[in-house]
Chains A and B, each alone.
Chain A
Amino acid sequence: MLPLLCICREIRKIAVHTHRKSGLPALYQLASTFSGAPAGLADADTIFALSSGHGKCGVAVVRISGPASSMALRCMAGLRRHLPSPRTALLRSITDPSSKEILDRGLVLWFPGPHSFTGEDSVEFHIHGGPAVITAVLQALGSMPGMRPAEAGEFTRRAFQAGKLGLTEVEGLGDLIHAETEAQRRQALRQMSGDLQRLYQDWSHRLKRCLAHVEAFIDFSEDELIEDGVLERVDSSVVSLQAEIERHLKDERRGERLRSGVHVVIAGATNAGKSSLLNTLCQRPAAIVSSIAGTTRDVVETVLDIGGFPVLLSDTAGLRDSTDLIEQEGVRRARERVQQADLTLVVVDSVLLPCEVQKAADILQENLTSVLPDLKQTNKDRCLLVLNKTDLLPEAHRRELERELNEVSGLPPVCLLSCQTHEGLQDFLSVFHSRLKILCGDPLSGAPTLTQARHRAHLQQCVVALAQYQKLRDTDLALAADGVRLALTSLGRITGKLGAEEILDIIFKDFCIGK
């Protein structure tokens, strides 16, 4: 059974999330939100909202759902006689139902229930994206009887109630609405179409069978007929499930990273040009740059889209021993950031490198160790070396470094770059992009990845619970079965579907039981 408070939390989260970003004009937000009271009016209400993003855009989508949808369509699109054929776009003048004033000209679509997103009759108006047009259309809708602005997340909630979406799909939808980059959008789409849902449901189905078989063995085996080998089959199922879930968990947080952004930290000695790199990447003077060592004292953050991947870029104070208390704190914060980073860009002033390649490599290694003391061969792909200020190098020296340094074994990829002239920027970006791709995984290939920390926590519980089964299977089957139950509950918390009666149904389907 799904714990109530837990679902409450999840659904509230979705609602709040959607609410925060829902781009209704201020007027409608006031009208629709009554001091956070979550329950809306009865289902008989027809709701409407601007479904596309807020702000300047070419086309805006206004969505209407509920029994009065067809009436709204008739009145506002001048379709007195016939409704348009379902799910077909039709170009119409959109008018105010009382004043008959033409508000805009746009596409209208008719989705009769139950074959709509919410399962109810629905209508979409695709209108021009100017705020004046949007406000006028929303006001016109609000003036009709039985219509009210939707609450935050209400379309999704209605879809969930109509059984159109599972919990993971609802979450995927929230992400889709907020997908800020192309790769995020692709992953959200995958989750929406239920890839993850299908994966979890397959596990859940197999676990249910395991549980049903253990339960049958407990409740029926002794004086009633249960075939031999039931428990052995459960054993092997549990082992393979555990392995699969563990593999899924070992995706190195790729999905989550894609959802919440890759944490990239710029670090290195003072005056190497770390803040210049930040400014170059975000194409604006986000950090103060000067030739004085120790200019940056605190962490400067900015959000970037690098080839479709979300990046949370932090510039940090240069690492050096300082007597300045504030700078000491800055260095401590810098080290903390580096520890938490998914990817570290170690910036080195190329002017300081000697001409001889091997000596240069040694100095780079020293730099690396000072920034990342725990760097091991295995996590070399967690950092990139950026050699800055190449515009100050003699051309021959630059070419030699570029040619030779990437041959030296034991070093992470080396990029030569001038933040001043942007020479080498394209090459750096392509190396950077390929790193991000590895870190996030390609959202359209391979097994679906984990997108939510919540899923991860439940799956980890699931693995622990399956281990409990294996540990106790021979000493106390009741306790072992509890492990399988717990595993199933943990999965059920992700997919939001679990029923106790189902277990008995499987038992009776699989076994001939009777005294």
Chain B
Amino acid sequence: MKLHPVQTLVSRCIGHLSRQRYDVIVVGGGHAGTEAAAAAARMGAETLLVTQKIQTIGALSCNPSLGGVGKGHLVREVDALDGLCGRAGDWAGIHFSILNRRKGPAVWGPRAQLDRQRYREFIQGELLSIKRLTVLEGSVEDLLVTEPNPDEPGSHRVTGICLENVLHPISASSVVLTTGTFLSGSLFVGQTTSPGGRIGDAPSSAGLSRTLKETLGLRVGRLRTGTPPRIVKESVDFSLANVHLPDRHPTPFSFMNTHTRCKPEEQLPCHLTYTTPGVERVVQESLHLNCHIQQDTKGPRYCPSIESRVLRFPGRRHLVWLEPEGLTSDLLYPQGLSMTMPPEVQLRLIREIPALRRAEIHAPGYGVQYDFVCPTQLSSALQVKSTQGLFLAGQINGTTGYEEAAAQGLWAGVNAARQAHSMPPVSLSRTESYIGVLIDDLVSRGVTEPYRMFTSRAEFRTTLRPDNADLRLTPKGYELGCVSSSRYQEATRVQNSLQEAMTALQALTLSTNSCREKLPDIRVSETKSTVLTGMELLQYKELSFEMLASVFPERLSPYLEFSQRLKIEAVYKPHCDINKKEIERIQREENMFLPPDIDYFSLPVSLSNEAREILDRVRPTTLGAATRLEGITPAAVVNLYNYVHFAKKKGVNGQQKMTRSK
């Protein structure tokens, strides 16, 4: 593995910018922004990334970890599309483990604890060396908004940005906003609040937020999140916590890496400890000092602060993970202890936990409340439907998590570049990727709490596995232009080898008798047919590809490199074949487009007023998306289906009837 040397392409001051017009401008340098900028540049767009501080590009604002169940799937998919976060994780990881190892490869969760320093180092090195990408330090004051292009749908058009303290605006064909928690963000500790999106950073401009709400008329909501205090490592008594070791052989996130930077033996452990009744008492006693928790803004149910956990499930013991912040860091991150009470109470609280009884706090925990743009106003290309040229990605769309942000960023970057090159938008289907599930959930259902990825959100979980993300997405990404040819070649090589190996396995047969003789470890049932193919044999739990290859060395040993993948393919094949039909049905529905300017209120179809309002507000692009809307009854879908079908048959006349009269 190598790290790109930090080059001097950075233009820290506006006067050094080589141009006044870009194809794509990305605002924000977090996980969404960096992936968006990198993807747009890979697509061939002249791209400008504007961030408040170049130094914080690639900073992990909250937990020092990447991946997990569901989230690990997203990292693998971002990597399959040549994004940054997978390779950055392999570079910065200091504790790798695959979660859910015993529950089946479809739900394996690749995860790593990260070294904050190394992660930032990698992302910055990578970004600053990408061709056509310029990074600019500055604060965006406002968006340039003009009249829309009358040939396209939309009532406004964004044509660039204005920077603070700079006279001339910078124009662009597309602007991607990835402002994270900074949109009207406020920070909460105890009873004090201050404007901002992250401690230590300046708040973002009020002009931007006003333009989104007032000029562009976007509906926004408010969400909250929080982060735990950071603890001084040497003040912790690890003898009172359970040690949790990483996998002995780290598995890299990236399809392009065979090993991680961190050597197996260099990995650091995590520690597990629990809350006590004393913790609950401190929370109860300090509620009146806690502004953040008293507000009714929606926080995430699955990543709750210690306060809301104690209030919702009193009398229980809750987990606290003590995670390293880096190889050389003196700090620990107490996962599960995000809190917003006054700093002196935070200290009292953590000291109720035996392992932390003498712990010192380096920086207190705090809460953030921020505006998000209701994502049902976006298309599946993550473009604001009512505004030409404006794309949104990350927490601004109501999601939480680095991986969710990175996935959206990449896809918004791809589409922003396509728009700049006057190409039609592209979307990923929920039948082919978790990214597709994520975006479809956001734009068709919207959010009521910060959205996090779970494997249970994906209908076709057994097909959308972390192991086959390259087969699912790399060819498509290459076709779009966001995947390098070296990655494409590697994916093609893998695909061909797997295909060959599976053909060989299918052709290879063994009678049940010789099976018992040559493979005594597997229990072949007596009643089954007398001849088994290699593919069928591999479906036995006890049999690995290596064992089979030792029986048929000449035919199978060329594929030993793919042992694990072949085993997984064999086990899942029958189930994926069943899924296929359902997937095709959904893809058919997703290909039934609803005209974007259809007037649902006057549509001569039997629909309830509620259904009309929902359809008018969300404006699903396809019938498939309409079926997934909350509040749309099956009957409404049927009527809509019939109408679309009918209109299609009638051809142009039908189309005209459906569109709003101008």
Chain A residues with CB under 8 Å of chain B are 1-5, 7-8, 11, 37-43, 154, 157-158, 160-163, 167, 215, 217-220, 222-225, 475-479, 481-482, 496, 499-501, 503-504, 507-508, 512-515
Contacts and interface: CB of A to CB of B under 8 A. Distances in A.
Contacts of B575: 479, 482
A174 to B, nearest CB: 15
Interface string B607-643: 1110100000000000100011010011111110111
B107 A514 contact: no
Given A499-B630, A508-B302, A477 B107 contact: yes
Contact of B638 (A4, A220, A224): A4
Contact of B456 (A38, A39, A475, A504): A504
Contacts of A42: 602-607
A4 B303 CA distance: 35
Contacts of A1: 459, 627-628
A113 to B, nearest CB: 12
B100 interface: yes
Contacts of B642: 8, 37-39
Interface string B432-476: 000000000000010000000011110101100000000000000
A11 B646 contact: no
Given A161-B635, A215-B454, A218-B107, A515 B318 contact: no
Interface stretch (B308-316, B381-389, B514-522): B308-316
A99 to B, nearest CB: 32
A228 to B, nearest CB: 13
B145 to A, nearest CB: 35
Interface in B99-138: 99-100, 102-107, 109
B318 A512 contact: yes
Contacts of B596: none
Contact of A501 (B109, B623, B630, B643): B630
Interface string B397-436: 0000000000000000000000000000000000000000
Given A41-B604, A508-B302, A503 B456 contact: yes
B589 interface: yes
Contacts of B105: 476, 478
With most chain B CB atoms within 10 A of its CB, the pick from A41, A158, A479 is: A479
Contacts of B547: none
A515 B456 contact: no
Interface string B296-322: 000001111000010011001011010
A223 B646 CA distance: 52
Interface in B563-620: 571-572, 575, 582, 585, 589, 602-609, 611
B86 interface: no
B174 interface: no
A512 B462 contact: no
Given A1-B628, A4-B589, A482-B461, A43 B609 contact: yes
B346 interface: no
Contacts of B637: 4, 7
Given A217-B103, A218-B456, A503-B456, 6 more contacts: A3-B585, A39-B642, A154-B606, A219-B70, A222-B109, A513-B301
B68 interface: yes
Contacts of A215: 454-456
Given A4-B589, A514-B303, A43 B607 contact: yes
B608 A43 contact: yes
A227 B608 CA distance: 44
A475 B69 CA distance: 18
B635 A157 contact: yes
B541 interface: yes
Nearest to A216: B456
A475 B570 CA distance: 14
B380 interface: no
Interface string B539-574: 001000000000000000000000000000001100
Contacts of A514: 302-304, 309, 318, 336
Contacts of B630: 499, 501
B103 A476 contact: yes
Contacts of A496: 634
B303 A161 contact: no
Contact of B641 (A4, A37, A43, A224): A4
A3 B606 CA distance: 20
Nearest to A503: B456
B336 A512 contact: no
B225 interface: no
Contacts of B585: 3, 5
A477 B105 CA distance: 9
Contacts of A40: 605-606
B604 A39 contact: yes
A2 B634 contact: yes
B646 A37 contact: yes
Nearest to A483: B575
A500 B623 CA distance: 18
A476 B571 contact: yes
Contacts of A158: 606
